[in-house]
Amino acid sequence: MKLPKVLAALVLAISSWLAQIQLPPGIVQILELTSPKPPFHSITNRNSIKEPADKLTADLYKATFALYGTQTWGNKSETRFLCTATIYQKTPDGYLLLSAGHCVKGKSLPKNLTFSVAEDESQTRFSVTVVKSILDRSTNMDFTVFEWKTAREYPVFNLDIPMNAAVGDDVIIVHFSSELGKQLSDGKIASQIFTDESSWCDICRDNFYITMTNMGPGSSGSAVVSKKTGKIVGITVGTADSTMIIEPISRFSVFVVTPEKNP
């Protein structure tokens, strides 16, 4: 009865020994091509993971969308993922969504893009229009508002104006970092609004930091929601030294009355 254990140990030892052998490149390539690999969807089957249990997180999941831009020339078009957007207001015809200004007016973006949103990547996209967008590095204003005309029902996250936030408050963000699908991150507000004019980090001025994990490109524009109030206290606009830079929602009132500049 001990023979199977002995065989298992022998197989493990042989496998470890083989792993140390330097095979010629050609053989390595053949092994890589012929070795069976599990299909990608077998390790990313979202149906096997339940939705968030608490209402705040579940609602934020539903109210957060992937933002896409489409460039058209002649009879051809190309659509690319850009950022994250979140519903913040109900309208008679649908909703208003909030994102970052650089998601629309970034220097690397083509002109005359049309925009759309989707509940998750690789899902149906719905057309949205830009109501207003400002990217002004002299004042570090970085907001975009989209209008989405739809009869669908979604949760709405109100803006925390005037802000009722403090250093140490717990916050959550739903985002599409690195185009890996809809993700949840949580953290804490880590600083007051930064006002030092002499800072090396120009984008940090008039913004604040939060500690946050697993966030990167694609999370721009995502709403930062306070667990204390359930309201949006800011949007993600960048990173610096492994912390997230957040545009405080208190500046949204200034954004509303600031005229757009011609590109």
Question: What is the CATH classification number for the domain harbouring 137?
Answer: 2.40.10.10
Token digits of residue 151: 């009869």
Same domain for 183 and 121, yes or no, is no
Q: What is the pTM of this model?
A: 0.76
Same domain for 60 and 145, yes or no, is yes
Residues 145 and 167 sit within 8 Å (Cβ to Cβ) = no
Q: Provide the pLDDT for residue 43.
A: 37
In a domain, 144, yes or no: yes
Quote the CA–CA distance of 23 and 40 in Å, as a whole number. Answer: 27
Same domain for 145 and 199, yes or no, is no
In a domain, 96, yes or no: yes
Same domain for 109 and 174, yes or no, is no
What is the radius of gyration, based on Cα positions, of the chain?
A: 23
Q: Provide the pLDDT for residue 14.
A: 47
Quote the CA–CA distance of 152 and 128 in Å, as a whole number. Answer: 14
Total number of domains constituting the chain = 2
**Domain range spanning residue 139?**
55-149
Q: Provide the pLDDT for residue 18.
A: 43
Quote the CA–CA distance of 215 and 48 in Å, as a whole number. Answer: 23
Q: For every one of its 263 residues, what pLDDT tens digit does the chain have, with 9 covering 90 and above?
A: 444 555 445 444 544 444 444 434 443 332 333 333 333 333 345 556 677 779 999 999 999 999 999 999 888 999 999 999 999 999 999 999 999 999 998 877 888 899 999 998 888 999 999 999 998 877 778 899 999 999 999 999 999 988 888 888 899 999 998 878 898 888 888 776 666 654 545 555 545 455 555 667 778 899 999 999 999 999 988 876 667 778 888 888 888 888 887 55
Same domain for 117 and 81, yes or no, is yes
Quote the CA–CA distance of 165 and 146 in Å, as a whole number. Answer: 25
In a domain, 233, yes or no: yes
Same domain for 84 and 113, yes or no, is yes
Cα within 13 Å of Cα(123), Cβ side? 12
Write phi, then psi, for 252 (nearest 5 degrees).
-65, -35
Buried (b) or exposed (e) across 36-53, using 16+ Cβ within 10 A?
eeeeeeeeeeeeeeeeee
Residue keyed to tokens 């051809």: 76
Same domain for 129 and 187, yes or no, is no
